[in-house]
Amino acid sequence: MSGDEDYVYDEASGEWRPASEVAAATAAAARVEVRDAAGNLLADGDSVTLIKDLKVKGANQTLKQGTVIRSIRLTADPEEIDCRHDSIKGLVLRTEFVRKR
C-alpha cells in the first residue's frame, strides 16, 4: 500500500481499495434515473406539469391538471419528487402524475 493515498476496506469484496475508487463507485450507484409519465428524464430544477387533478392530503385542496410546478428536487426514491407550490409547502409528488415542460 502506498503512503500517499487512503485505503478503505470493502466488505463486499473483502479487499482494501483506494478511497477515491470507492467514492466514485458509490457516487455512480447513487445516481438514479428519474423519469416522468412520458418517459422523459427529470433533473433537479426542472419544471413539470400535472397530467391529472390531484387531491392533496392534509391541505384540503386540489391541484388541477395543467398546473406548473417549478424547481423540482429529486429524492432518493425514483418514484417521487420534492417540490413547492405557492399554497402548499413540503409537497411530494409521484412521477407518474407529472410531465416535463
Q: What are the angstrom distances between the C-alpha of 85 and each of 21, 91, 92?
A: 40, 7, 10
* pLDDT-based confidence at residue 24 (cuts at 50, 70, 90): confident
C-alpha cell at 34: 428519474
Considering the chain, tell me which residue range(s) the CATH 2.30.30.40 domain(s) occupy.
34-100
Structure letter (DSSP) for residue 57: T
Report the chain's C-alpha Rg in angstroms. 20
Does 43 score more than 80 pLDDT?
yes
C-alpha cell at 92: 411530494
* pLDDT-based confidence at residue 13 (cuts at 50, 70, 90): confident
The region, left, alpha or beta by phi > 0 then psi within -120 to 50, assigned to residue 58 is left
pLDDT given at position 37: 95
| pTM exceeds 0.75 for this model | no
Q: Which CATH architecture has domain 34-100?
A: Roll (2.30)
For the stretch 66-80, pLDDT in tens is 999 999 999 989 999
**Residue located via cell numbers 392533496:** 56
> Sheet of 73-74: strands edge to edge?
73-74, 80-83, 91-94
